[in-house]
A and B are shown apart, each in its own frame.
Chain A
Amino acid sequence: MISLAGRDILHAWGKFVFTGVGLGLLIGVTLTMAGVYRGMVDDAKVLLDNSGAELWVVQQGTLGPYAEPSSLYDDVYRTILGMPGVDRAANVTYLTMQVRQGERDVRAMVVGIVPGGPGEPGQPGYLIAGRQITRSHYEAVVDIVTGFKLGERIQIRRNHYTVVGLTRRMVSSGGDPMVFIPLRDAQEAQFLKDNDAIAQQRRRTAENPAFNRPVIPDLLDAVIASQSINPYINAVLVQVKPGFIPEDVAETIRRWKRLQVYTRVQMEDILIGKLIATAAKQIGMFLVILAIVSAAIVAFIIYTLTLGKIREIAVLKLIGTRNRTIAGMILQQALGLGIIGFVVGKIAATFWAPIFPKYVLLEPGDALLGFAGVLLICALASVLAIRAALKVDPAEAIGG
């Protein structure tokens, strides 16, 4: 027995492949959407991985530093260093803002890190070009998504920084690229505004008679000086000594230092459960709708293809072809269409995923699931067409 489905495909292969490509693009969009969701979750995980921390110490009562603003004094880290089980502790600040270079500006998460030796928590774990920050001021390591190159000068608030290193996949949970600068500069950037605002503030302070006393000549200067420093940071990143359980160390810090401490697992819950939950649901819904639409379109295509063969099907039935054989032909065609569509879709998704502004992660598991789903949908869609085909009366072939 020859394969009727195969012969039909061979005969009208152009139409078949063309339809397959169209279907493939639709499947590609669906796979990409799943990739967008996975990319969002991966952004959150990567943020936690890249910080190099096992514990996050933040302001009591907050979900910070990523989900909620958190403020700590910058000398808190010294007491944390002294707690049992703490191997390293480093201050860190986070601020999402516009970073300017020449004529354009880029939205980035500016991370203030301690420019100590290599391997301090908060520093980027690996680079793709350049070097880590060595000076205590005015150097920056940026992520490649910003588009900045080595040696360029970027402007953050009032200061200029030279790009000395490039990283990859250092992004915030929102997908904004990270720019690492020394902690002092970051504290200043978080706090000090531009020159006009500072001049205004000084003027106001000078006009306040409580601060501007002629009897105490240096009072005004002292007040302005105190207004111009920022002793706050957003979190302390902690690495735990080998042999200690992070949750135990966290509990000790919580109890004795009146601070909030989160372990890696808890931070993941916060980021994925709270920060990206809404966006994830949005994409999830869209994915469901896409899948339904894809299924409907596949069903429609297969149904139409079958209807176009009604006469042949009637003749086949008349000359004695089993229903089973006819059903098999339709099913095989549907599956063949599905396979072509999936292959085209997977390739298309792989090629256009890097163009997206945020990270799109196409997992092989998702692809396999998608493949199974496509085949299932094609099979179910063919049911409709098979029913139509089987209802055909062989007598139709015999004219009236």
Chain B
Amino acid sequence: MKFLSVNRRMFALLAVIVPLLALLIYVALRSGPLAPISVTVTTVTNRSIAPVLFGIGTVAARYTYKIGPTYAGRVKRLDAHVGDRVKAGQVLGEMEPVDLDDRVRSQESAFKRAEATLREAEARQSFAQTQARRYEQLFAARATSEEIFTTKRQELQIADASQSAAREELARARSDQGALVAQRANLRLIAPVSGLVAARNADPGTTVVAGQSVVEVIDPASLWINVRFDQLRVSVLSAGLAVQIVLRSQDGRRFGGRVLRVEPIADAVTEEILAKVTFDALPKRLPPVGELAEVTVTLSALPALPVVPNASVQRVDGRLGVWLIEDDKPRFAPVKVGATDLDGLVQIISGLKAGQSVVVYSQRALGTRSRVKIVEQLDEVSP
């Protein structure tokens, strides 16, 4: 009775304090280090996954023809421009002949002189032959001395030799002339195959050295992709596998292709395996040489095994495994992993069975003594 007014006050104050304290306790237990850790789980299922290999490559032309002179010289004219389509045998340009024409003419004269020398040698030889025969007859009739006979025979041999020399001299002059003519022909830059002019490295008037390329021609039909695959898990890469190609400039369009070959020499520094991939059908708009391409190789599906998302697999105390939830408590189960696919599914070779519940995502790192709470989706991740 006495306490009524006092009690009312007390009640009002408690109505403020008690919820405050309750809030405090709630706050202490729900957040901060004492709170349970939210986790999401998934059931292990038996699935067969198709491993996919992924590599980055650049578009390249299979053959690039770098056309240039075989002698140092000056570019006289260049008719080809980058992007022109050329046919096999087409003349793309020409180098300055300089003194080559004069040298050809001089060589012609040398050839004619060699011809004349040959005729002279032949004349001498026939004369020497006649003389040798006559003196042979005379010697047989003892009308002349042996010395003169021997001399005439020797003159015949000399004349034979001179004739041979003159003949070879003529051949040599012919060869030299052939060589100069060939060189004169070489002054012309000729496209070896039909294709596209890809580069023009020197303009008319530029002096170039032997071996320097003036014009580069590629065959656009021979475009392929030079792909690099990370060395891990590519033991199954082999020629003939079907691939999908995505070009950087044509994002979203997938082109079909095939692995042409796996290079026998890998890149030791970057630890990558090189392969060549061809298009099944060239894109309508030809990709420029050097463009980046992403290549995915889908391998054949492996037999079904328990699979888990790769977010579930963690390394704890040096062992690879997953966290299972048993009786609301986490337990770490070591596993052996097999192949993975590019979507993040990992095969479990041993350590798990289909139907078990494994932790996929957790708010914090789990330990054997953590308090956990299974939720549908973690709070921080908005749908």
Residues of A within 8 A of B (CB): 7, 9-11, 13, 17, 49, 52, 75, 87, 115-119, 125-132, 134-138, 144, 149, 164-166, 168-169, 184, 214-215, 217, 231, 239-242, 340, 343-344, 346-347, 350-351, 362-364, 367
Contacts and interface: CB of A to CB of B under 8 A. Distances in A.
A71 to B, nearest CB: 17
A280 to B, nearest CB: 20
Given A128-B381, A184-B270, A214-B208, A346 B361 contact: no
Nearest to B68: A217
Given A125-B365, A347-B27, A119 B20 contact: no
Contacts of B264: none
Given A130-B311, A131-B344, A346-B27, A364 B34 contact: yes
A212 B159 CA distance: 60
A169 B269 CA distance: 34
B232 interface: yes
Contact of A119 (B13, B27, B320): B320
Given A168-B364, A347-B23, A241 B318 contact: yes
Interface in B161-201: none
20 contacts: A7-B6, A10-B9, A10-B13, A17-B16, A115-B230, A118-B313, A126-B311, A126-B365, A126-B366, A128-B363, A134-B342, A135-B342, A136-B54, A137-B294, A166-B381, A217-B212, A217-B213, A343-B20, A350-B31, A363-B33
A119 B13 CA distance: 56
B310 A131 contact: yes
Contacts of B31: 350
Given A17-B16, A127-B361, A165 B311 contact: yes
Nearest to A132: B310
Contacts of A166: 381
Interface in B343-357: 343-344, 346
A127 B312 CA distance: 8
Interface string B237-278: 000000000000000000000000000000001100000000
Given A10-B10, A217-B211, A131 B315 contact: no
Interface of B: 6, 9-10, 12-13, 16-17, 20-21, 23-24, 27-28, 31-34, 54-56, 208-209, 211-213, 229-230, 232, 269-270, 294, 309-311, 313-315, 317-318, 320, 337, 340-344, 346, 360-366, 378, 380-382
Nearest to B311: A127
Given A11-B9, A131-B344, A136-B230, 8 more contacts: A10-B10, A119-B315, A127-B360, A128-B363, A343-B21, A350-B27, A362-B32, A364-B32
> Which 6 pairs across A and B sit closest by C-beta, in order of nearness?
A131-B344, A119-B315, A118-B313, A127-B311, A136-B230, A135-B54
A351 B23 CA distance: 11
B380 A144 contact: yes
Nearest to B309: A131
A131 B364 contact: no
A157 to B, nearest CB: 15
Contacts of A115: 230
Contacts of A215: 209
Contacts of A75: 269
A340 B56 CA distance: 64
- Give the one of A116, A127, A166, A168 with max B CB within 10 A: A127
Contacts of B232: 116-117
A52 B208 CA distance: 59
Contact of A118 (B27, B320, B342): B320
Given A115-B230, A117-B340, A344 B315 contact: no
A7 to B, nearest CB: 8
A118 B23 contact: no
Nearest to A150: B381
Contacts of A49: 365
Which has the most chain B C-beta neighbours within 10 Å: A13, A164, A241, A363?
A13
Contacts of B346: 118
Contact of A347 (B9, B24, B313): B24
A243 B294 CA distance: 44
Given A118-B315, A136-B230, A350-B31, A129 B13 contact: no
Contacts of A134: 54, 310, 340-344
A77 to B, nearest CB: 11
Contacts of B20: 340, 343-344, 347
A346 B317 CA distance: 36
Contacts of B32: 350, 362-364
A9 B317 CA distance: 57
Contacts of A125: 314-315, 365
A132 B337 CA distance: 15
A66 B5 CA distance: 66
B194 to A, nearest CB: 25
Contacts of B366: 126
A131 B311 contact: yes
Nearest to B16: A17
A13 B24 contact: no
Q: Among A116, A125, A136, which residue has the most Cβ atoms of chain B within 10 A?
A: A136
Given A52-B315, A131-B344, A134-B344, A126 B6 contact: no
B313 to A, nearest CB: 4
A128 B361 CA distance: 5
A184 B229 CA distance: 12
A52 B319 CA distance: 12
Contacts of A217: 211-213
A137 B295 CA distance: 11
B33 to A, nearest CB: 7
A33 B202 CA distance: 70
A370 to B, nearest CB: 13
Contacts of B229: 136
Contacts of A7: 6
A41 to B, nearest CB: 14
A17 to B, nearest CB: 6
A215 B207 CA distance: 12
Contact of A129 (B9, B10, B211, B378): B378
A49 B341 CA distance: 28
Contacts of A129: 361, 378, 381
B317 to A, nearest CB: 8
Contacts of B21: 343
Q: Which residue, of A134, A138, A149, A242, has the highest number of chain B Cβ atoms within 10 A?
A: A134
Contact of A149 (B24, B294, B317, B382): B382
Contacts of B12: 13
Contacts of B270: 184
Nearest to A240: B318
B382 A131 contact: no
Contacts of B54: 134-137
B216 to A, nearest CB: 11
A156 B273 CA distance: 26
Contacts of B309: 131
B28 A364 contact: yes
